[in-house]
Chain A
Amino acid sequence: MPQGELCNRKPIVTDEQLKLTLSDKSGKKYYAEMLELDVDTNALWATIQKTMKARLKTWLEICAHCGMCADSCFLYQVNDCVPEQVPSYKIQSTLGHIVKKKGNVDNEFMRHCMKVAWSQCTCCNRCGMYCPHGIDMGVMFSYLRGLLYSQGFVPWELKIGSGMHRVYRAQMDVTTEDWVETCEWMAEETEEEWPGLTIPVDKQDAEIMYTCNAREPKHYPEDLAEAAVLFHVAGTNWTVPSEGWEQTSLSMFAGDWECCKDNVNHVYDAIERLNPARVTGTECGHAHRATVIEGPYWAGREDGLPPKPYIHYVEWLAEALREGKLKIDPAKRIKEPVTLQDSCNYVRNQGLKDVTREIISYIVEPGYFVEMAPNKEHNYCCGGGGGFNGIGMYREQRNVALRKKMDQILDTGCKLVIAPCHNCWDAIRDLEEEYEIGIRWSFLKPLIIGMLDIPEGMRVEW
C-alpha cells in the first residue's frame, strides 16, 4: 500500500482529516498503516540534494568518531551508557546511512530512524558544545525529522500537532473566538479581585504585545489571568492579538517546516498589524525558540530577527522587577531551598542564563537558592523536550529520560523547582507522578503574584 488513509506523506490540512486522525485511539490504525507505507526514495534524495548544504555534509563527513559527544548526552547517561545512545552513532547510523544510500532506504529503516529521531534525541543541542569539530547533532536531528515527516514517518501525536497548527494555527483546537472569549472571561473573573484589570485585545501601539501557548487558554486559563495581573500591577500598556497569539510550534518538533513558516508569519503579521513597541511570550522555551530564535529564518527575514524586539517572559519579568514596576515584599520571599530548571531552548539557544538568576535574586531569600549541577548552558534537558513529552508510543523511554532531571533535583536537596518553561514544567510534573520524590514545581507567574508588594487599593481582599 503506497499511502494510508491516516499515515501518509500528506500533511493534515482539513478539520475532517484532523478529527479522523484524532479518533484513531493511540494511533493504532495510523501505526498499522505505517508498516505498509512506501518510501518515495526519489523524493527523499531530491530533498537531500536540495537542502543538505555545506554545513551538514561536512559534519557528516568529518566526524572523527572520537566519542567525545557520548557523555554529553543525558539519554546516553540514563540508558546505562549503551553505545547505541552515543549522539554521533545515532546520527551517523540514521541520517548518515540515508545519505550514504542516496535516499535508497526501506520502510523498516525509516521506522527505525523515526524511533531514534523522536525517542533518542530531544534536540537539546548539548552535544554540539562537546564536539571538538563543532558538530551539533541536535541540529542534524531536526533536519532528519524534516526528512522523516516529508515521508510520513512521524509519531501520530506530532502528525496531529502539526495538523492542528495548519488547521487552527494553534497546537490545540482553539479558534479565534475561543481565544477572545477566554480573554474576556479571564478579564471578568480577575477584575473582581483586581479592579480595573483588562485583557485588551487588538490594541494598537501598545508597549507590549503578549503571545502564549495554546495549552494555556485550552487547559490553564489561569496562566493568562496571572500574566494579566502582573501586567496590570506593573502598569503596562499591553495587548493580545486576536489572531497570531499562539507562539508554540509542534510543527518544529514534527519537522513540518512549511507549517512552521506559516505559523510564525501569522504571529509576525499580528506584530505588523498592532505595531507594539515590543513583544513578549509566555513561560515557554520551545515557543520562544520557534517564534524568536528560529522563526525569523523560516520567515526569510534577512536580519534573523522578528519584526519588533521580542523578549522572553523571564526578560520582561526581570526588567519589571529591576525597574521597580513589580515590587516583592521581602517578608514573602521564598525561604526554603529552591532550584531552577534552565530551559535548553532559551538558555542554550539564546543565552538567557543570567536573567533568570536575576529574578531569583529578587524572590528568594539569600542562601536558599541551590543551583543544579551542571547548570546554565551545560544543564541537561528536562527529559521531555523536543516533543518527547507528548508521544505515547515512547512513554517508557521518556520516563527513563526523566531520571537525569530527577537525580539533578534530588542532588540539590530542594523540594521546590522553578520551571519557567511549559515543557520543563510538564516533564517535572510527570517525573513526580512517575517517581514520587516529593517535590513541587512552579512557573514564575504564580510565585511572583504570591509575594508581590501591592499598592493599597489595587487589590480587593475577599
Chain B
Amino acid sequence: MYELLTGPLLWLVFAISFGGLLVRVVLYFKGLSQQLDRVAYKAHLSYGLKGAFNSIISWLNPVGARAWRKKPGYTFIFFAFHIGLLATPIFLAAHNIMLQENLGFSLPQMPAFFADLLSWTVIVACVAIILRRIALPEVRILTTAYDYLLLVITVAPFVTGLIARYQMGDYQFWLLAHIITGEIWLLCLPFTKLSHCVLFFCSRAQLGMDYGIKRGGLKGSTFSW
C-alpha cells in the first residue's frame, strides 16, 4: 500500500495537480479579453508588467498593502497559515529524503523542531480562521460549507502528519492517512477554489496591469492596490 501510494500513484497525483494548475494558468491568460476587460494589455506592456509586479509584491508583503496594514490581526493569521502551509511540505526532512531516493536531489531541509512548530502554526491558524468565520457577521454571511470543507482538506495532512510524527496510535495507519490526505489535497488544487495558489498571481497581475495602464500608471501614479 505504502509503495503504491508513494510510487506510481504519487506521480499520477503530481501530474494531475501540477498539470492541472498549469492548465488553469494558461486558460486564465488565454481567456483575457482586451475589449471586455478594458485593458490594453499588449499596447502598454511595460506599464502593465510594472503594475502587475507592483501588485503582486505589495500583497505578498504583510505590510505592503493598505488592507493588510489595517487588519494586523487577520494579516498575521493569514500569513502564518500560508507560510506554514507552503514551507512545511517543501522543506520537511522526510519529504526530502523521499525526493532524494526517487529523483536523486533534495531541497534544503528544516530542523524537525521547526517543522513541528510550522505544522502547529497551520493548525492553530486554521482554527483561528474558522472561529473568525463564525464570529464575524461580515465573514459569516459569506461562508459556505464548501469553505469549511476546503479548510478540512487543507489542514488534514498536517493533523495526520503530526499524529504520525508523535507516533500516537498506529503509526502505519496515520502515515498512510497522512499520505492519502496529502494526495487528496494535491488533487483538489486545480479543481477547487484552492486553485488560488496560482490564480492569485494571475488575478493580481491582471488588476495590477489594469491600474498600471489605464487606472493611473500612464499618469505616473502608483497605487498600493
Q: In the bound complex, do residue A67 and residue B66 qualify as a contact, i.e. CB atoms below 8 Å apart?
A: no
Interface of chain A residues 38 through 52 with chain B (CB within 8 A): 51
Total interface residues in chain B, CB < 8 Å: 61
Find chain B residues with CB under 8 A from A354 CB: 221
Interface of chain B residues 183 through 225 with chain A (CB within 8 A): 193, 195-196, 199-200, 202-204, 206-208, 210, 213-221, 223-225
Q: In the bound complex, do residue B203 and residue A59 qualify as a contact, i.e. CB atoms below 8 Å apart?
A: yes
Residue of B nearest to A59 (CB): B203
Q: In the bound complex, do residue B27 and residue A54 qualify as a contact, i.e. CB atoms below 8 Å apart?
A: yes
Find chain B residues with CB under 8 A from A53 CB: 31-33, 36-37
Q: In the bound complex, do residue A349 and residue B138 qualify as a contact, i.e. CB atoms below 8 Å apart?
A: no
Residue of A nearest to B143 (CB): A65
Report if A20 contacts B (CB, 8 A): no
Report the separation of the CA atoms of residues A420 and B194 in the bound assembly, to the nearest whole angstrom.
44
Q: How far is the CB of B155 from chain A (nearest CB, A)?
A: 15
Report the separation of the CA atoms of residues A70 and B217 in the bound assembly, to the nearest whole angstrom.
26
Q: In the bound complex, do residue B28 and residue A54 qualify as a contact, i.e. CB atoms below 8 Å apart?
A: yes
Report the separation of the CA atoms of residues A57 and B30 in the bound assembly, to the nearest whole angstrom.
13
Find chain A residues with CB under 8 A from B206 CB: 55, 134
Find chain A residues with CB under 8 A from B35 CB: 297-298, 300
Q: Are A351 and B219 CB-contacts (below 8 A) given A55-B203, A302-B43?
A: yes
Residue of B nearest to A133 (CB): B203
Find chain B residues with CB under 8 A from A294 CB: 38
Q: How far is the CB of B131 from chain A (nearest CB, A)?
A: 13
Report if B44 contacts A (CB, 8 A): yes
Find chain A residues with CB under 8 A from B33 CB: 53
Q: How far is the CB of B45 from chain A (nearest CB, A)?
A: 12
Find chain A residues with CB under 8 A from B39 CB: 297, 304
Q: Which of B29, B30, B210, B214 has the most CB of A within 10 A?
A: B214
Report the separation of the CA atoms of residues A72 and B195 in the bound assembly, to the nearest whole angstrom.
25
Total interface residues in chain A, CB < 8 Å: 54
Q: Are A58 and B221 CB-contacts (below 8 A) given A302-B40, A304-B40?
A: no
Q: Are A377 and B216 CB-contacts (below 8 A) given A62-B199, A68-B71?
A: yes
Q: Which of A88, A132, A293, A296 has the most CB of B within 10 A?
A: A132
Report the separation of the CA atoms of residues A129 and B68 in the bound assembly, to the nearest whole angstrom.
11
Interface of chain A residues 347 through 393 with chain B (CB within 8 A): 348-354, 377-378
Q: In the bound complex, do residue A133 and residue B200 qualify as a contact, i.e. CB atoms below 8 Å apart?
A: yes
Report if B142 contacts A (CB, 8 A): yes
Q: Are A304 and B214 CB-contacts (below 8 A) given A86-B138, A133-B196?
A: yes
Report if A339 contacts B (CB, 8 A): no
Q: In the bound complex, do residue B139 and residue A65 qualify as a contact, i.e. CB atoms below 8 Å apart?
A: yes
- Ordered by A's residue number, 11 sampled pairs between the chains whose C-beta atoms are within 8 Å are A53-B36, A54-B30, A55-B37, A65-B144, A68-B67, A83-B137, A133-B203, A134-B55, A293-B215, A349-B216, A377-B221
Pairs of residues from A and B, 6 with the lowest C-beta to C-beta distance, nearest first: A351-B216, A54-B31, A351-B221, A304-B40, A134-B207, A83-B141
Which residues from chain A sit less than 8 Å from chain B, CB to CB?
Answer: 51, 53-55, 57-59, 61-68, 70-72, 76, 81, 83-84, 86, 88-89, 92, 128-136, 293-294, 296-298, 300, 302-305, 348-354, 377-378
Given A55-B206, A130-B67, output 6 extra A-B contacts at Cβ < 8 Å.
A65-B144, A68-B74, A89-B141, A133-B200, A302-B42, A351-B220
Which residues from chain B sit less than 8 Å from chain A, CB to CB?
Answer: 27-40, 42-44, 55, 59, 65-67, 70-71, 74, 78, 133, 136-144, 147, 193, 195-196, 199-200, 202-204, 206-208, 210, 213-221, 223-225
